[in-house]
Amino acid sequence: MLRSLFDLDLRLVRIFLAVADAGGVTIAQAKLNISQPTISSQLSTLETRLGYRLCERGRSGFRLTDQGERFRALCRTFLTTVDEFSAAARHMEKALASTLKIGLIGHTPISQNARISDAISLFRQRDEAVHFSISVKPPGELEEHLLSGAIEIAIGHFWHRVPTLDYTPLFNERQLAYCGRGHPLFARAGRLQPAEVADFDWAWRSYPLPEAQLPATSGHMTAQADNMEAVSLLVLSGCHLGYLPEHFAAPYVAQGLLAALNPQQLGYEVTFLMVTQKQTGRRPIVDAFIEDLKRAHMDLGHGHARGHREFGLVH
């Protein structure tokens, strides 16, 4: 039975995680560059130290036990912490070290991605040895990861206001209602009134958007999706109407595959936010990146006035 961390060999943990992620000993062999008997022996040693079975392996195939699944999640957290400790220990002379975890929503406007890239460039000019970990998730998952601590900075649109978090408006994104080329309304798109589109099927979001108003009854919401790419597939089919970011739909409009129903009447604005823990609970590297993100918004585009208007002052 495992009594302390010293009884747990890091090498055994890494071997188990490689096997679990590969889905079997045979597939993991090439990645680990060790023989199958050695891998099996190491797994058995780990199971003996832990006092329970991690996986079923043999002629019937490979399968993690319930305890094995939970142990795999613990391994990921454990190894991330070890890697961060190692990085910080190697770079004690640096003012900023460790890992910075950022979460983004997909299909952000190119101009805004450029500002995030500029912020990274500014950050790299600091006295730092930071490992960036950037993930792209739907809004709901971003929020969950932020609250759990899996990420420290999230950029997207969020419908909750959690007291322990800070919300800073970054920019607005214009969403318009579209139809695909095969849709009955395509020939009249551009001047359609809300009443004219109410009786058609719509693709809608699986997460709430307070700014959006469905111009139809819920009975006509016949498809749901949690990301823009999935909504676009439904709209492009010609079977559904749906809202898409104007910048995202632009290439399809240029190809004659999509058309906006009525840009003046069937559209809305979504405010993108930067969300972090309250300032008193943030690490210095998070505050440093926030400062560089502000600088990027101020320096890119049309100078300082525009930057001050777009960062933190969107209403």
The number of domains in the chain is: 3
85 located within any domain: no
Q: Are residues 167 and 19 in the same domain?
A: no
Q: What is the CATH number of the domain that holds 198?
A: 3.40.190.290
Q: Are residues 181 and 254 in the same domain?
A: yes
Q: Average pLDDT for residues 233-261, to the nearest whole number?
A: 95
Q: Are residues 179 and 44 in the same domain?
A: no
Asked if pLDDT for residue 115 goes beyond 60, the answer is yes
Strand ranges inside the chain, DSSP E: 55-56, 63-64, 96-104, 128-136, 153-156, 165-180, 202-205, 221-225, 242-245, 258-260, 267-277
Q: Are residues 165 and 201 in the same domain?
A: no
Q: Are residues 177 and 235 in the same domain?
A: yes
pLDDT tens, residue by residue, 62-108: 889 999 999 998 888 888 777 767 766 665 555 555 788 899 887 77
251 located within any domain: yes
Q: Are residues 187 and 218 in the same domain?
A: yes
Q: Are residues 104 and 222 in the same domain?
A: no
Q: What percent of the chain has pLDDT over 90?
A: 30
227 located within any domain: yes
Q: Are residues 184 and 292 in the same domain?
A: no
Highest mean pLDDT among 172-176, 181-185, 279-283: 181-185
275 located within any domain: yes
pLDDT tens, residue by residue, 227-242: 788 999 999 999 999 9
Asked if pLDDT for residue 206 goes beyond 80, the answer is no
209 located within any domain: yes
84 located within any domain: no
Partner residues linked to 259 by β-bridges: 179
Domain boundary among 79, 113, 139: 79
Task: Tell which residue, 49, 47, 63, 275, has the closest CA to residue 158.
Answer: 275
Could you tell me which residues come within 8 angstroms of residue 128 by beta carbon, excluding any fewer than 6 positions away? 94, 95, 96, 97, 285, 288
Q: What is the CATH number of the domain that holds 127?
A: 3.40.190.10
Q: Are residues 161 and 291 in the same domain?
A: yes
pLDDT band at 201 (very low <50, low <70, confident <90, very high): very high
Q: What is the CATH number of the domain that holds 29?
A: 1.10.10.10
Q: Are residues 233 and 123 in the same domain?
A: no
Partner residues linked to 63 by β-bridges: 56
Domain that holds residue 128: 90-171+271-310
51 located within any domain: yes
315 located within any domain: no
Q: Are residues 148 and 277 in the same domain?
A: yes
Confirm if 270 and 172 have CB atoms less than 8 A apart: yes
Domain boundary among 79, 98, 133: 79
Q: Are residues 258 and 275 in the same domain?
A: no
Domain boundary among 46, 79, 112: 79
Task: Tell which residue, 237, 236, 201, has the closest CA to residue 221.
Answer: 201
